[in-house]
Amino acid sequence: MPFIETPIKGLLIFQPKVFTDNRGSFFESYNRKTFLKADIDCNFVQDNQSKSSFGTLRGLHLQTNEMAQAKLVRALSGNILDVAVDLRPKSKTFGEYFSIELSVENGSQLFIPRGFAHGFVVLSSEAIFSYKCDNYYSPENEDGIMYNDQSLNIDWKLPAADLIFSDKDTKLKSFEIFKSKL
């Protein structure tokens, strides 16, 4: 199976088999049958893509309620540090995060189940990031947690002075406030 378990149940690294020859390479970035064999039954309905420069940090975002989303994320170019925070209230790893570097070179993808906040930071001069979602974006169900929340203590691998944010991301709530509304 092309899935590698992480310390957080349900959060899986997807490592597709890459075929290379003198022409280049080929791999299946997604195959529903492969995911079903791993008991991942997602009906992906929306693909998103972003292009960002070095130091851009997007997150930590999530969709809530009936609009929660599972995601399959990967880098199409450049290097990113991808972060998922477990926000499933009954999970043994509630409030813990997992990070992984994603790049075209390592071919890794991350499957993020529903109930996680997600974010990434660009480590290369530029990166194109792609993700599949199993539910549609809903502004009314959008939520998030500050990237630098001290109780999460996420290591983003870059100095704070190098980070670039949207105005919206600088106004996200603390983890404590998020927890108090569960």
pLDDT digits (tens, 9 = 90+) for 108-117: 999 999 999 9
| Residue 176 pLDDT > 80 | yes
Provide the pLDDT for residue 97.
98
CATH number for the domain formed by residue range(s) 3-180: 2.60.120.10
Question: Is 97 noted as a catalytic residue in this protein?
Answer: no
| Residue 182 pLDDT > 90 | no
Could you identify the residue written with the tokens 């309620």? 65
Question: Is 131 noted as a catalytic residue in this protein?
Answer: yes
Of the residues 30, 61, 97, 118, only one is catalytic, namely 61
Q: How much is the mean pLDDT over the chain?
A: 95
User: What percent of the chain has a predicted confidence (pLDDT) above 70?
Assistant: 99
Residue extents of the structural domains in the chain? 3-180
Could you identify the residue written with the tokens 């130091």? 55
Q: Which residues of 135-149 are buried (b: 16+ CB within 10 A; e: fewer)?
A: beeeeebebbbbbbb
The mean pLDDT value for 11-31 works out to: 92
| Residue 1 pLDDT > 90 | no
Of the residues 118, 131, 137, 147, only one is catalytic, namely 131
Which amino acid, 106?
N
Whole-model pTM: value is 0.94
